[in-house]
Amino acid sequence: MNFCSKTKNEKIENEKDKLLSLIKKNALRFGDFVLASGARSNYYIDARMITLDAEGSYLVAKLILKMLENVEVDSIGGLSIGADPIVSAVSTLSFIEGKPLRGFIVRKEPKKHGTQKWIEGPLRNGDKVAIVDDVVTTGGSILKAIEKVKEYDCKIVKIISIVDRNSGLENKLKDQGYTYEPIFCLKDLGIDNKVHK
């Protein structure tokens, strides 16, 4: 199922439409912005306005679980802080739906005290893992999460983002043998890819 195109499931389409409406209303801004990648853009998607909102986090979790429905997966995680609320929502909802997934967070740098870990949470060696992120441009956060998760000999079975800014990450990940799927692409938000500066 390609979530960047219309799906056949009416209920999923309804949930996607609700989430898209929330993103356009509460998270999409136009102006002059510097992105995490260092690139400039005349639009910005403040995903935490969605993933830390009750309805938004529920819809994100519901759609991600639908995307993982036919995938054998043990754990879900990603780089802090973009992935943090997504992981928490998906893990909680997965338990409610009777198919619990363990959640984990990859730190941007190792813990300075105690165990000095890069990864927080119950990730286990050999887990089948889904990596998540909110808004993806160059995919630096995803690539960092992949690097650290591979140290646990885990198999990355799927990579999911809420919005892909159409910067070529899909081909990069595909070349490395990963399956990547965003919930939304720029065209879903009514944004021309040429708006990058």
Delimit the domains of the chain by residue range. 10-195
Q: Using an 8 Å Cβ cutoff, are 123 and 102 in contact?
A: yes
Read off φ and ψ for residue 47, nearest 5 degrees. -60, -25
* CA angle (184, 188, 191) in 5-degree steps: 115
- At which residue do the structure tokens 């993933």 appear? 51
Task: Specify the pLDDT at position 116.
Answer: 73
Read off φ and ψ for residue 180, nearest 5 degrees. -120, 135
> Span 10-195: which CATH code?
3.40.50.2020
- 141-186: pLDDT as tens digits: 999 999 999 999 999 999 999 999 987 888 889 899 999 999 999 9
Task: Specify the pLDDT at position 197.
Answer: 46
What's the average model confidence in pLDDT over 114-134? 91
The percent of residues in the chain predicted with pLDDT above 70, rounded, is 91
- 63-80: pLDDT as tens digits: 999 999 999 999 999 999
Within 8 A by CB and 6+ apart from 53, the residues are: 22, 26
- Measured in whole angstroms, the distance separating CA 78 from the mean position of its chain's CA atoms is 8
139, pLDDT greater than 50 = yes
The percent of residues in the chain predicted with pLDDT above 90, rounded, is 73
Mean model confidence pLDDT for the chain? 90
- Cα distance between residue 104 and residue 91, in whole Å: 9
Predicted TM-score (pTM) above 0.85: yes
